[in-house]
Amino acid sequence: MENTAKKTVLSCIQPSGMLTLGNYLGALKNWINMQEEFDCTFAVADLHAITVRQEPAKLRAQIHSTFALLLALGLDPERSTLFIQSHVPEHSQLAWLLSCYTQFGEMSRMTQFKDKSAKHADNVNVGLFAYPALMAADILLYNPDFVPVGADQKQHLEITRDIANRFNGIYGDVFKIPEPFIAKTGARVMSLQDPTKKMSKSDENLNSWVAILDTPDDIMRKFKRAVTDSEARVCIGEEKHGINNLIGIYSAITGKSSDAITAEFEGKGYGDFKMAVGEAVVEELRPIRERYEQIIKDKKQLEELYKAGAAKAERTAIRTLSKAMKKVGFVL
Ligand code: TYM
């Protein structure tokens, strides 16, 4: 008989502040598309968020709002498993196990740890250092075939594969080795004000990033102010970081190639191009914001959905954790 089991997908997102156009184009948009073809599990990675200091009431609100946003994006709790990471304690348990199979040296090479510890020099905590072991646990618990992420998470995927291979090398085939899924367009959305830097919600310059929930006026204003260059030609170029970024955003939304975009704006100025990119982003995000405003009002329904999602996720998580624990020699 033909094997009709769908391939599986897992990914997570931190609830640390407003989600950005970078999160959307680099990861979330692919999640929505993958939902059609794959058996998907997606989580709000709240445990990861406390590697930097969070204000309790704000964190709680952001966890709710991130979960609501996943629904507003069109992720369907009937088809995919949607949950909040801390509701499935197996994530923390497997993270401990995996951290004992991860070398200090390999963790020390993580560029995100280096960046974040430079940024939060007053709080370089052990959790920030061990973060990739928790991320490896998030992934390996569900044996996914693919993990859709932006380019900045590639190194964390590589260490996950290394840890899984090491564990399997000792104990036999416990974990499936996952493949990163990094889209060709949108994998690295850059700041609108300094396009050599990644677009990030922690950027103090509010014109440098677009939130998924920004109003159309805010979005247009930010694109109008986006940094470009003095050449006045819409085309990809080595030193044209601002225009390259805008072409990438426009391409990720419209599906047009960069050559088609160059042809479309031949003879037109950057002003017209920035307006067109802004409008494309406004129209892409409008229905999401409208749905979000409805969904976030119904706290009771949200609670029902994230509880049901956690119960469903935990069934798989328990199975994988028990298998790993037995192999190591724990008494279960
Ligand atoms: P996080 O929460 O920082 O970002 C969520 C997703 O958005 C992508 N992303 C971007 N993509 C393109 N351009 C940008 N400017 C941009 N900014 C963010 C990220 O690559 C990510 O895919 N450690 C993860 C969360 C996580 C996770 C996991 C991911 C925890 N456990 C297990 C996958 C699997 C993180 O901090 O992503």
Residue 87 structure tokens:
């509701």
Q: Is 122 left (phi over 0), alpha (psi -120 to 50) or beta?
A: alpha
Are 279 and 316 in the same domain? no
In a domain, 105, yes or no: yes
In degrees and rounded to multiples of 5, residue 242 shows phi and psi of -65, -50
Query: What residues does 13 pair with on adjacent strands?
Result: 44
For the chain, list the strands marked E by DSSP.
8-13, 39-44, 81-84, 146-148, 179-181
In a domain, 192, yes or no: no
Are 120 and 149 in the same domain? yes
Are 228 and 323 in the same domain? no
In a domain, 46, yes or no: yes
Are 19 and 116 in the same domain? yes
Are 183 and 244 in the same domain? no
In a domain, 3, yes or no: no
Cα–Cα distances (Å) from 176 to 24, 38, 99, 173, 239, in that order, read 27, 16, 18, 7, 41
In degrees and rounded to multiples of 5, residue 134 shows phi and psi of -70, -40
Query: In total, how many domains does the chain have?
Result: 2
User: What is the model's pLDDT at position 4?
Assistant: 66
Q: Looking at residue 225, which CATH number applies to its domain? A: 1.10.240.10
Cα–Cα distances (Å) from 276 to 29, 106, 132, 246, 331, in that order, read 20, 44, 39, 10, 62
- Which residues, at least 6 apart from 259, have a Cβ–Cβ distance to it below 8 Å? none
The pLDDT tens digits along the chain (332 residues) read 445 689 999 999 999 878 999 999 999 999 999 999 999 999 999 999 999 999 999 999 999 999 999 999 999 999 999 999 999 999 999 999 999 999 999 999 999 999 999 988 999 999 999 999 999 999 999 999 999 999 999 999 999 999 999 999 999 999 999 999 998 888 999 999 999 999 998 889 999 999 999 999 999 999 999 999 999 899 999 999 999 999 999 999 999 999 999 999 999 999 999 999 999 999 999 999 999 999 999 999 999 999 999 999 999 999 999 999 999 999 99
The whole-angstrom separation of Cα 9 and Cα 309 is 15
Kindly report the number of other CB atoms within 10 A of residue 25's CB atom.
25
* Strands 81-84 and 179-181, bridge-based pairing: unpaired
Are 226 and 132 in the same domain? no
Are 57 and 104 in the same domain? yes
Are 309 and 289 in the same domain? no
- Is 52 within 8 Å of 16 (Cβ atoms)? yes
Helix (H, G, I), strand (E, B) or coil at 263: helix
In a domain, 226, yes or no: yes
User: Half-sphere exposure of 149 toward its Cβ, with a 13 Å CA cutoff?
Assistant: 21
The whole-angstrom separation of Cα 246 and Cα 249 is 5
Answer yes or no: is the C-beta of 247 below 6 A from any ligand 1 atom.
Answer: no
Are 88 and 175 in the same domain? yes
Residue 251 structure tokens:
């391409």
Are 247 and 118 in the same domain? no
Are 304 and 275 in the same domain? no
Catalytic positions are: 116, 198, 201
User: What is the model's pLDDT at position 302?
Assistant: 97
Determine which residue's CA is closest to atom 19 belonging to ligand 1.
150
The whole-angstrom separation of Cα 107 and Cα 127 is 12
Answer yes or no: is the C-beta of 26 below 6 A from any ligand 1 atom.
Answer: yes
Q: Which of 8, 9, 10, 12 to mutate to test the pocket of ligand 1 (most atoms within 8 A of CB)?
A: 12
In a domain, 147, yes or no: yes
In a domain, 124, yes or no: yes
Cα–Cα distances (Å) from 173 to 143, 144, 176, 271, 284, in that order, read 11, 14, 7, 56, 43
Rg value, the chain, Cα: 21
* Strands 146-148 and 179-181, bridge-based pairing: parallel
The whole-angstrom separation of Cα 91 and Cα 321 is 9
Kindly report the number of other CB atoms within 10 A of residue 307's CB atom.
13
Are 95 and 120 in the same domain? yes
Residue 82 structure tokens:
């949607």
d(CA 307, ligand 1 centre) in Å: 23
- Is 202 within 8 Å of 17 (Cβ atoms)? yes
> What is the separation of C-alpha 89 from the centre of its chain, rounded to a whole number of angstroms?
21
pTM: 0.95
Answer yes or no: is the C-beta of 116 below 6 A from any ligand 1 atom.
Answer: no
Residue 44's domain spans which residues? Answer: 8-187+299-328
Q: Looking at residue 147, which CATH number applies to its domain? A: 3.40.50.620
In a domain, 2, yes or no: no
